[in-house]
């Protein structure tokens, strides 16, 4: 018996699947890299809402519900205060707004560090409540046992090495990592430990380019660069950063547009028209017939 999907535009602006389609899977992302070679770079952007996911989904292989939502959506000073409830709710919205990309959700600070068992319980909750396909966690060799524990029990895990924002209080800021030989060796070792623990991909953030290249060449799973190297197996950016929603962004961000200025100019035009009583106009009003 076949199933036909139809649109129901009356119920939501974020329409359901427009046609029968199979969503990409974690194994398909992992298989992009074989024998150290990536056939097609992996495209990933962050998404926090259903509508944002709907717009990004046709162009992305993965959508990351990042804990960066703490700063981007909630105006928090860092990712540290982000809660499980925030991550689960936003991830569920992104799943509802997408039908093609693999949805990955960040595990918030404090949800996975204590033990593999704690991490598994938190990840299982996130996947159950959101419908996401995988989780991402920060940390290298210290988290390898946890990654292995989770993957062996059916939870796909994406790793994250280099500049790890949840460790900002230990690192002392958001500067690029790997400027000393010892630190560079540690970052490469961290990535290899996650690879051996069967992470299906590894985000490499804010490191000197030779480190990112060494990691990409040294691990079997795809690497996803952000402030790393074009030689990584894929790339990710915070969507609001690359759209130009904020004046200040990290050095590694390329602003592809200036949406912030467009929004500000549009709001100014709206405000002017309201004050001069030219909005609403005839096209926006209901008039009696006859």
Euclidean distance between CA atoms 37 and 40, whole angstroms: 9
Report the b/e string of 270-285 with b at 16+ CB within 10 A.
eeeeeeeeeeeeeeee
Distant-in-sequence, close-in-space partners of 93: CB < 8 Å, separation ≥ 6: 48, 49, 50, 53
Q: What is the DSSP letter of 166?
A: G
Q: What is the DSSP letter of 168?
A: H
Catalytic residue among 113, 198, 205, 209: 205
Report the b/e string of 179-193 with b at 16+ CB within 10 A.
eeeeebebbbebbbb
Euclidean distance between CA atoms 215 and 190, whole angstroms: 9
β-bridge mates for residue 177, sequence order: 207
Please check if 190 is assigned to a binding site. Answer: no
Please check if 138 is assigned to a binding site. Answer: yes
> Is-catalytic flag, 117?
no
Please check if 136 is assigned to a binding site. Answer: yes
Please check if 258 is assigned to a binding site. Answer: no
Euclidean distance between CA atoms 186 and 267, whole angstroms: 48
Q: What ranges make up the beta strands (E) of the chain?
A: 33-34, 37-38, 42-46, 62-65, 102-106, 134-136, 157-162, 201-205, 223-226, 234-237
Hey, what long-range contacts does 148-153 have (CB within 8 A, 24 or more apart)? Answer: 148/197, 148/198, 149/116, 149/117, 149/119, 149/120, 150/116, 150/119, 150/120, 150/123, 151/197, 151/198, 151/199, 151/200, 152/198, 153/120
Please check if 255 is assigned to a binding site. Answer: no
Q: Binding-site residues, please?
A: 67-68, 106, 136, 138
Q: Write out the catalytic residue numbers.
A: 205
Q: Binding-site residues for 3-methyl-2-oxobutanoate, please?
A: 67-68, 106, 136
Q: Binding-site residues for Mg(2+), please?
A: 67, 106, 138
């Amino acid at each position: 018996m076949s199933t036909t999907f139809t649109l129901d535009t009356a119920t939501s602006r974020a329409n359901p699947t427009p046609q029968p389609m199979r969503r990409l899977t974690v194994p398909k992302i992992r298989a992009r890299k074989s024998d150290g070679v990536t056939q097609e770079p992996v495209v990933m952007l962050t998404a926090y809402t259903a509508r944002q996911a709907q717009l990004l989904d046709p162009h992305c292989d993965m959508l990351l519900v990042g804990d960066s939502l703490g700063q981007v959506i909630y105006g928090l000073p860092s990712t540290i205060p982000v809660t499980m409830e925030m991550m689960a709710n936003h991830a569920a919205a992104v799943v509802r707004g997408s039908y093609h990309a693999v949805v990955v959700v960040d595990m918030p600070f404090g949800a996975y560090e204590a033990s593999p068992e704690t991490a598994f319980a938190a990840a299982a909750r996130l996947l159950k409540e959101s419908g996401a396909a995988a989780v991402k966690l920060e940390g290298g060799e210290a988290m390898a046992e946890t990654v292995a524990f989770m993957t062996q029990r059916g939870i796909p895990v994406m790793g994250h090495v280099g500049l790890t924002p949840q460790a900002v209080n230990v690192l002392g800021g958001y500067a690029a990592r790997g400027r000393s030989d010892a630190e560079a060796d540690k970052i490469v070792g961290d990535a290899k430990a996650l690879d051996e623990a069967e992470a299906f991909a590894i985000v490499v953030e804010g490191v000197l380019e030779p480190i990112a290249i060494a990691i990409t060449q040294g691990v079997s799973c795809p690497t996803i660069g952000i402030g790393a190297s074009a030689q990584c197996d894929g790339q990710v950016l915070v969507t609001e950063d690359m759209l130009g929603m904020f004046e200040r962004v990290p050095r590694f961000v390329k602003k592809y547009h200036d949406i912030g200025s467009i929004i500000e100019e549009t709001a100014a035009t709206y405000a002017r028209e309201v004050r001069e009583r030219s909005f609403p106009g005839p096209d926006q009003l209901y008039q009696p017939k006859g």
